């Protein structure tokens, strides 16, 4: 009997897997293609790191907390899914920086804390006189002649001076990438500013020409009912059944350009094309039979992060940030990386009769926090939080969520390593694509962009193979 249907497996149903399956389904219907999509998910839920919990009447995100509107991929999907009327836009601009036992707020126009107008550096108490002079000198000269890969810290130290890089860039980037800026290469990050700088010569000129990139209100979005609104809507749109509790334990190459998936070590499924949308921590096991391919994955390190939601009675703090949260510089030696003040950041929490603070703790290189008990974590965080905010009351309640090995850490020359890996896959695993939280970047926008590319690649591959 002639085989008509081709089967596509999407492994993982986080935002990447769901978007991939959604895009595939759309094209299959539009083009009337004889393909079927199977989504295999190891856990009992979809969403992955989009993780919203409902407490009473309120929805709180314990994983990813917002989507950056300065990138467009998520917004396009949200519009397509008709979810714009459920959006909330961030308020109270940007976070304060906590350093030297003090909160600093930058009122002037900034990009990730860096002043856009060079002379505004004189308003920064956080930086010494020498640090200000270094900033003025380094923002003046173009650094474009030297485009080689450097760490994120080196990249910014060359452009804004050592001190601004340490006390301003470091806390902002640590919050976004949960990585050590002394370790991560600048070109692995997909930061728009790095590419744009080539057109303008200096960081300052680039920022002046791109006001849309600056820190401020509306930079971030969430939904009335939390970020899982997005993953839940994608699930509803997929009439393809998602198969839960189906962990793909190995992928093996088979005859006629097909692959065999081992599921839960006891079931097998033959497929024609695959998108692996797990995070990169899962690759080692899935491809354990291929020593050469595993060599590429050894380079990927995953960092851990934790989140505590605290509810405090109103008026519990003697010190409060001007902005919608706090970033802690690494030299504080604090367990806290950042604090999101939910009542200040989002209008839908504004009138609550409690103060809701989301605290991200643990730094990429600091695995210790993940192994502590909840009580130990609470004590350590409360102690650090007290230094920042001078707390008067005990919390009403707290909720702790650990995210071990959840954030990829892009080492130097990641771009080149990524290119080599993708070339290897193209040569040795035709029709198999990696997407999502890992090799090609992370963050919701980035994962959606990768999902779109992966689904296009799958369709192209299947159309080209008999």
Ligand X SMILES: Cc1cc2nc3c(=O)[nH]c(=O)nc-3n(C[C@H](O)[C@H](O)[C@H](O)COP(=O)(O)OP(=O)(O)OC[C@H]3O[C@@H](n4cnc5c(N)ncnc54)[C@H](O)[C@@H]3O)c2cc1C
Q: Can residue 303 be called a binding residue for ligand X (CB under 6 A)?
A: no
Contact indicator for 207, 116 with CB cutoff of 8 Å? yes
Closest among 160, 88, 78, 79 to 126, alpha carbons compared: 160
| Interacting residue with ligand X among 10, 37, 64, 271 (CB under 6 A) | 64
d(CA 307, CA 338): 10
Q: Can residue 247 be called a binding residue for ligand X (CB under 6 A)?
A: yes
The nearer residue to ligand X, 305 or 377, going by C-beta atoms, is 305
The nearer residue to ligand X, 161 or 226, going by C-beta atoms, is 226
The nearer residue to ligand X, 65 or 170, going by C-beta atoms, is 65
The nearer residue to ligand X, 178 or 316, going by C-beta atoms, is 178
| Interacting residue with ligand X among 372, 444, 449, 454 (CB under 6 A) | 444
Q: Pick the piece of the chain touching ligand X (CB under 6 A) from 37-45, 152-160, 318-326, 390-398.
A: 37-45
Q: Can residue 407 be called a binding residue for ligand X (CB under 6 A)?
A: yes
Three-state helix/strand/coil letters over 272-331: CEEEECCCHHHHHHHCCCCHHHHHHHCCCEEEEEEEEEEEEECCCECCCCCCCEEEECHH
The nearer residue to ligand X, 203 or 447, going by C-beta atoms, is 447
Q: Can residue 234 be called a binding residue for ligand X (CB under 6 A)?
A: no
The nearer residue to ligand X, 48 or 321, going by C-beta atoms, is 48
How many CB atoms within 10 Å of residue 117? 13
Q: Can residue 38 be called a binding residue for ligand X (CB under 6 A)?
A: no
Q: Can residue 99 be called a binding residue for ligand X (CB under 6 A)?
A: no
| Interacting residue with ligand X among 336, 437, 454, 459 (CB under 6 A) | 437
| Interacting residue with ligand X among 6, 7, 14, 440 (CB under 6 A) | 14
Site string for ligand X, 66-85 (x = CB under 6 A): xx------------------
Q: Can residue 12 be called a binding residue for ligand X (CB under 6 A)?
A: yes
Contact indicator for 262, 252 with CB cutoff of 8 Å? yes
Closest among 51, 71, 69, 74 to 61, alpha carbons compared: 51
Question: What does DSSP assign to residue 91?
Answer: -
Site string for ligand X, 365-404 (x = CB under 6 A): --------------------------------------x-
Q: Output the smallest distance, CB 12 to ligand X, in A.
A: 3
Closest among 282, 240, 234 to 47, alpha carbons compared: 234
Q: Can residue 16 be called a binding residue for ligand X (CB under 6 A)?
A: yes
Q: Can residue 179 be called a binding residue for ligand X (CB under 6 A)?
A: no
Q: Output the smallest distance, CB 281 to ligand X, in A.
A: 8
Contact indicator for 108, 120 with CB cutoff of 8 Å? yes
Q: Judging by beta carbons within 10 Å of its beta carbon (0-12, 13-18, 19+), is residue 184 exposed, middle or buried? A: buried
Q: Can residue 442 be called a binding residue for ligand X (CB under 6 A)?
A: yes
Cα 210 versus chain centre, distance: 22
Please list, residue by residue across 195-228, b when 16 or more beta carbons sit within 10 angstroms of its beta carbon and e when fewer do. ebbeebebbbebbeebeebbbeeebbbbbeebbb
The helix/strand/coil state of 20 is: helix
Contact indicator for 139, 160 with CB cutoff of 8 Å? yes
Total residues binding ligand X (CB under 6 A): 37
Q: Can residue 95 be called a binding residue for ligand X (CB under 6 A)?
A: no
Ranges within 253-282 binding ligand X (CB under 6 A): 277-279, 282
Task: Tell me the DSSP string of 166-205.
Answer: IIIIHHHHHHHH-S-TTTSBGGGS--HHHHHHHHHSSHHH
Q: Pick the piece of the chain touching ligand X (CB under 6 A) from 40-48, 85-93, 205-213, 329-337.
A: 40-48
Q: Pick the piece of the chain touching ligand X (CB under 6 A) from 7-15, 180-188, 294-302, 346-354.
A: 7-15
Q: Output the smallest distance, CB 445 to ligand X, in A.
A: 6
Q: Can residue 63 be called a binding residue for ligand X (CB under 6 A)?
A: yes
The nearer residue to ligand X, 268 or 318, going by C-beta atoms, is 268
Q: Which residue pairs, CB below 8 angstroms and at least 24 apart, start in 368-376? A: 369/304, 369/306, 369/335, 370/304, 370/306, 370/402, 370/404, 374/400
Closest among 253, 227, 234, 232 to 37, alpha carbons compared: 234
Q: Can residue 325 be called a binding residue for ligand X (CB under 6 A)?
A: no
d(CA 14, CA 205): 38
| Residue 335 backbone dihedrals phi, psi, to 5 degrees | -70, -20
Q: List residues binding ligand X (CB under 6 A).
A: 11-17, 40-43, 48-50, 63-67, 247-248, 277-279, 282, 286, 305, 307, 403, 406-407, 436-437, 442-444, 447
């Amino acid at each position: 009997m002639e085989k008509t249907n081709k089967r596509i497996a999407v492994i993982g149903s986080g935002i990447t897997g769901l978007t991939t399956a959604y895009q595939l389904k759309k094209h299959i219907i539009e083009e009337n293609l004889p393909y079927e999509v199977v989504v295999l998910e190891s856990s009992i839920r979809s969403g992955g790191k989009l993780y919203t919990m409902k407490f009473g009447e309120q929805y709180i995100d314990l994983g990813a907390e917002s989507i950056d509107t300065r990138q467009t991929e998520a917004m396009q999907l949200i519009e397509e899914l008709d979810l714009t009327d459920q959006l909330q836009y961030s308020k109270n601009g940007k976070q304060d920086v906590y350093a030297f036992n003090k909160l600093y707020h930058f009122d002037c126009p900034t990009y990730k804390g860096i002043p856009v107008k060079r002379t505004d550096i004189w308003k920064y108490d956080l930086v010494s006189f020498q640090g200000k002079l270094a900033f003025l000198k380094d923002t003046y000269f173009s650094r474009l002649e030297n485009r080689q890969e450097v760490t994120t810290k080196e990249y910014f130290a060359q452009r804004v001076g050592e001190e601004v890089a340490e006390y301003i860039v470091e806390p902002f980037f640590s919050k976004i990438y949960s990585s050590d800026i002394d370790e991560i290469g600048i070109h692995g990050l997909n930061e728009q500013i790095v590419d744009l700088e080539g057109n303008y010569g200096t960081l300052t000129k680039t920022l002046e020409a791109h006001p849309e990139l600056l820190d401020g209100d509306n930079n971030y979005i969430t939904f009335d009912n939390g970020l899982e609104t997005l993953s839940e809507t994608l699930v509803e749109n997929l009439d393809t059944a998602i198969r839960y509790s189906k962990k793909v334990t190995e992928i093996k190459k088979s005859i006629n350009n097909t692959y065999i998936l081992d599921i839960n070590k006891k079931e097998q499924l033959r497929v024609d094309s695959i998108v692996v949308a797990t995070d990169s921590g899962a690759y080692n096991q899935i491809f354990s039979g291929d020593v050469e391919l595993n060599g590429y994955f050894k380079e990927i390190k995953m960092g851990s992060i934790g989140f505590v939601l605290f509810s405090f009675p109103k008026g519990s703090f003697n010190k409060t940030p001007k902005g919608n949260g706090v970033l802690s510089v690494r030299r504080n030696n604090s367990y806290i990386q950042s604090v999101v003040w939910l009542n200040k950041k989002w209008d839908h929490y504004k009138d609550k009769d409690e103060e809701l603070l989301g605290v991200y703790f643990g730094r990429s290189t600091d695995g210790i926090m993940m192994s502590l008990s909840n009580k130990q974590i609470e004590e350590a965080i409360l102690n650090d939080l007290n230094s920042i905010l001078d707390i008067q009351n005990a919390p009403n309640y707290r909720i702790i969520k650990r995210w071990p090995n959840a954030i990829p850490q892009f080492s130097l020359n990641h771009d080149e390593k990524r290119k080599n890996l993708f070339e290897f896959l193209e040569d040795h695993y035709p029709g198999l694509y990696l997407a999502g939280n890992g090799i090609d970047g992370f963050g919701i926008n980035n994962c959606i962009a990768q999902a779109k590319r992966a689904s296009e690649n799958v369709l192209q591959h299947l159309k080209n193979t008999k």
